[in-house]
Structure 1
Amino acid sequence: MSLCFQPFHYASKIKCCVRKHTRSQSQGRKNNPSLVKVASAETTSTSFLHKQSSDALIGPGNGIGIIGGVSIDSTLSFAKRLKNLLLEEEGSSPPFILCSDPSLSKELSSLDRSSSPFSSAKPEANCSTIVENLRQKQAFLDRSGVCCVVMPCHISHSWHDEIKEGCSVPFLHVGECVANELKQAQLKPLESGSPLRIGVLATNPSLLPTIYQEKLENKGFEVVLLDKATVEHTVIPAVEALNRKDFEGAQNLFKIALQVLLMKAVNRVILASDHLEQLLPPEDPLWTKCIDPMDALARSSLKYARSPETGI
């Protein structure tokens, strides 16, 4: 399923489009011109993906292309971040195209649950099918008139390099966006003579090297991770508690994990998991030490949409 939206301030249309598409794809397409169907990885035709630039859905090249991830909720949450940033800045609203495929979301979710938290290898189950699906969505967005493509999904970034092949516009990497913002912040080490330390907290540490660790180390940061025992006794049980709707238990375990990293003199902690990003209220003192990487991805995508070349 692919959703095409124009300005962000049409937030109420998001739920409407999703609901209509769920009831009847064919009827929804007739009644809602904002709804555009993208074929699945198995059925997407070459002729469809190779439309000429004159067939672009938006223009003049100032839109943001969004490839959905594990759930429609997290995907729409990213769109909401964009809207909130625009409200804060009182800025103009570039259009965006959102591609969300329920079958792909199901595969990614299953892969995320089944992958070993401490495996050093990339997840391999259904890998080729998932990558091909994501590449076709990248190709569709690339030819739809967007100025950049983003993928607000941690597990999809395992194959970022493969997915971005052939993309003619910037395909933003969440790890690079976070590392760039931290570098620009000009933080000072908490311990004299020590390097700048950044903690990374994830439910699946096996994804960290390619998504965050390499990007941060390339910028001169020392990356601090939780040890295996701490992850197994705090982070994973926190997610399990969250799945049981035990929010207080999940929050308490999450705070313990954060404190362990903060005791290692880290300046900030990157929350590399959708499960962890909403566990603390904004007014909690610990939240000031946390970084939600999808916020950095949203800010970077707006920066591209507003660059002089796009006319915003």
Structure 2
Amino acid sequence: MLGVLGGMGPMATVDFMAKVVRNTPASCDQDHIRMVVCSAADIPDRTAAILGEGPDPLPALRETLLRLEAAGATRIAIPCNTAHHWHAALQAETPLPILHIVDAVVDQLTGPKDARIGVLATSGTVAARIYQDRLGRRGYACGLPDAAGQDEVTRAIRLVKAGHLSEATEILRREAEALVAAGMQAVVMACTEIPVALATVEGPLRASLIDATEALARACVAACRPEVALAA
């Protein structure tokens, strides 16, 4: 059973769950994987903690993880890119495998190993080098917005959390297009709010976008499908 350590934010958690369902080959209810979800919206802000501007979210993350474990989860997904700064610390707390969102993204990359991959993410994800380091270990170069562009990405993420999707869409479209123009072979939507805002984007840009939420959902389905077969 998949345990979803969610609530960061609530809309992104719902989006992740929908993508798990859509990516599951199923002809009836019983073909879907079982999920237990804790939408722990009270977990302190991850970016603020990384930047030294807010409380440490690790205790709340740990508490939520243990609740999922007690509820019978057999593996864990965290549909929040920035929270993966604490992936190793959380994995040390449980024998359950915690799927890593960046690994899920890298497994879906199809370009040459020396490709330049753009990343749109929170300032916390950028500062913690969650994507830069893990992409680099797999041979990819990582491209990021400049300082002004990163400020705009941050503003757009906040707009999504506040429910102002149309304004966020325009900002994020502009920043994604700038990364493509700078030579990035693909652009990862590396904050779970970003795919929500760019869901309606079509045309050439759509082909360049990689949805980290979708990648994690697919990895979860692949990991959990043997359990569905056993239960059938």
User: TM-score normalised by the shorter chain: which range applies?
Assistant: 0.7 to 0.9
The within-5 A match list for 1:101-112 is 101-104=40-43, 107-108=44-45, 112=47
Given that 1:148 and 1:169 are in contact with CA atoms closer than 8 Å, whether structure 2 keeps it comes out as: yes
Given that 2:195 and 2:213 are in contact with CA atoms closer than 8 Å, whether structure 1 keeps it comes out as: no
Report the identity percentage. 24
1:90 paired residue number: 26
1:213 paired residue number: 132
1:252 to 148, 159, 170: 170
Tell me the CA shift for residue 196 of structure 1.
Answer: 0.9
Tell me the CA shift for residue 254 of structure 1.
Answer: 2.2
Q: Which runs of 5+ in 1 are unaligned?
A: 1-62, 190-194
Given that 1:69 and 1:156 are in contact with CA atoms closer than 8 Å, whether structure 2 keeps it comes out as: no
Structure 2 residue matching 1:126: 3-state secondary structure? coil
2:181 paired residue number: 263
* Structure 1 CA distance for aligned equivalents of residues 16 and 165 of structure 2: 24
TM-score of the aligned structures, taking structure 1 as reference length: 0.63
Given that 2:12 and 2:196 are in contact with CA atoms closer than 8 Å, whether structure 1 keeps it comes out as: no
Aligned length: 225
TM-score of the aligned structures, taking structure 2 as reference length: 0.83
**CA deviation map 1:144-195 (0-9, x unaligned):** 433310111123222111122132121111112111222xx2x148xxxxx3
The one-letter code sitting in structure 1 at the alignment partner of 2:14 is: L
The within-5 A match list for 1:39-58 is none
Given that 1:135 and 1:164 are in contact with CA atoms closer than 8 Å, whether structure 2 keeps it comes out as: no
Pick the structure with greater CA Rg: 1
What is the root-mean-square deviation of aligned Cα atoms in Å? Answer: 2.8
**1:126 counterpart = 2:45:** no
* Structure 2 CA distance for aligned equivalents of residues 145 and 303 of structure 1: 19
2:195 paired residue number: 277
- 1:287–1:162 Cα change, 3 Å: same
* Structure 1 CA distance for aligned equivalents of residues 225 and 108 of structure 2: 17
**1:72 counterpart = 2:10:** yes
* Structure 2 CA distance for aligned equivalents of residues 123 and 173 of structure 1: 24
* Structure 2 CA distance for aligned equivalents of residues 246 and 68 of structure 1: 20
* Structure 2 CA distance for aligned equivalents of residues 98 and 258 of structure 1: 31
* Structure 2 CA distance for aligned equivalents of residues 176 and 83 of structure 1: 20
2:92 paired residue number: 165
The within-5 A match list for 1:141-220 is 141-182=68-109, 185=110, 187-188=111-112, 195-202=114-121, 204-208=122-126, 209-220=128-139
Q: Which runs of 5+ in 2 are unaligned?
A: none
Structure 2 residue matching 1:270: 3-state secondary structure? strand
